[in-house]
Amino acid sequence: MNNLSPEIIRDAWVEVDGTRLKDNFMAARRAVGKNVKICAVLKSQCYGLDCRTTAGIFRESGAYMFAVAVLSEALEVRQTCPYHSILILGYLSEGYYPAALDRDISLTMYRRDMIEALSAEASCRGKKGRIHIKVNTGMNRLGFMPDEESADIVARAAELPGIEIEGVYTHFAAADEADKSPTRKQAERFTAFIDMLKNRGVPYGLVHAANSPSVCDLPEYDFDMVRPGLLFTGTYPSTEVSRDRVRVKPALRLMGRLGSVALIPAGEAVGYGFSYRLEKDTLVGVLPVGYADGFTRCYSNNFYVMVRGERCPVIGRICMDHCMIDLSAAPDAAIGDEIVVYGNGDDGAITVEEAAGIRGTVVEEVLSNLSPRLPRVFI
């Protein structure tokens, strides 16, 4: 990449490999087969990558529809994809129904009063309120309980003016764990509820449940459509899922430029709180990436980056906008050198999956913590 690329407006950025995004999408497509639709989940800016650009890539690759968490994300995706279906997976208060209706955004419904309110608003505006019924099969976050009473509510909702049921879905809470029995229990509850809707003659549309981990491990739950998201970034949900059905490669790198090089004498300390003291004369570099970028303080004295193909430890506490690195392994490093912070699996750098392990968290948190102030540069 050109060091003076006009796309980069600061000396740290997220590099996104568009070809790998396409390849990862096609890997999911091959796994589920041509008869199963793909809903590309783009929440949290497509896990930190930029939802508008990735939506365009997945649209061209054959995504049937998109899913996001909140209305603002839906409106961003709509700019890139004016005709594709977009589903908001989370809660949306009634005051925002007009904005969603005007832009043909599909909404998740999990209460009778929500559906009735959307019906009234849609009827007044001469619009069609497109909805997906969420079923609570055990996660106990959002959703209708999978019982006869809820089936009756959905049956009545299907007859309301201005309402079109596009689908019914649930969310698996533990598909990324080694024990798949809780997921199977959720699936049993879900399919039992589908049978209740069938018995009432409800036109419930697409049936979908599979997230990224279940796409990896549980093909029996592909149903009519799957909802992968994290997989497209080229990272797996956990070490407990199979990597055989869907083979993906990391599509992003966190990059920065070396901003300072100084020889600091032995005995001196580095960074806030003097948490790291030099045992020998050391070439110390400064990287303009800090915890305000999502490069958390827990990496302090516990991480390495790649400089000129060599591993260089992060030393001292991570600052808000910078961190310091020991350049002993790359003594010829110069100001302006590109540094790989999070790697793509081929460059020797720590990947986001490995970074999640250091942080004791999930990959989704590492990715979604990447600050908006980091430019996203697609290659």
- Render pLDDT for 308-326 as a digit per residue (tens, 0 to 9): 999 999 999 999 999 999 9
Region of 152 on the Ramachandran plot (φ > 0 left; ψ -120 to 50 alpha; else beta)? alpha
Other beta carbons less than 10 A from residue 30's beta carbon: 12
Kindly list the structural domains of the chain, giving each domain's residue range(s) and its CATH number in brackets, ordered by start: 18-233 (3.20.20.10), 252-378 (2.40.37.10)
Residues 50, 374, 63: CA angle, nearest 5 degrees? 10
pLDDT value at position 272? 96
pLDDT, mean over the chain: 95
pLDDT value at position 9? 82
Residue range 95-110: mean pLDDT, rounded: 97
Quickly state the pLDDT bin for 2 (edges 50, 70, 90).
Answer: very low
- Render pLDDT for 21-60 as a digit per residue (tens, 0 to 9): 999 999 999 999 999 999 999 999 899 999 999 999 999 9
% residues pLDDT > 90 (the chain): 97
| Model pTM score | 0.93
Does residue 352 contact residue 369 with C-beta atoms inside 8 Å?
no
User: Per the structure block, which two tokens stand in for 163?
Assistant: 């309402």
Q: Is the pLDDT of residue 6 over 70?
A: no
- Render pLDDT for 54-98 as a digit per residue (tens, 0 to 9): 999 999 999 999 999 999 999 999 999 999 999 999 999 999 999
Residues in a beta bridge with 284: 262, 326
Q: Is the pLDDT of residue 7 over 70?
A: no
Residue 216 CA from chain centroid, whole number? 16
Does residue 302 contact residue 314 with C-beta atoms inside 8 Å?
yes
- Render pLDDT for 172-220 as a digit per residue (tens, 0 to 9): 999 999 999 999 999 999 999 999 999 999 999 999 999 999 999 999 9
Residues classed as catalytic = 43, 272
pLDDT value at position 85? 96
* H/E run at residue 48: helix 43-48
pLDDT value at position 237? 92
Q: Is the pLDDT of residue 100 over 60?
A: yes
Does residue 272 contact residue 319 with C-beta atoms inside 8 Å?
yes
Residue range 96-125: mean pLDDT, rounded: 97
CA pair distance 332, 334, nearest whole angstrom: 6
pLDDT value at position 1? 39
User: Per the structure block, which two tokens stand in for 290?
Assistant: 């800090």
CA pair distance 326, 266, nearest whole angstrom: 13
Which candidate, 263, 188, 265, 234, places its Cα nearest to that of 346? Answer: 234
DSSP states along 189-249 = HHHHHHHHHHHTT----EEEEE-HHHHHH-GGG-TTEE---GGGGT--S-TTS-SSSS---
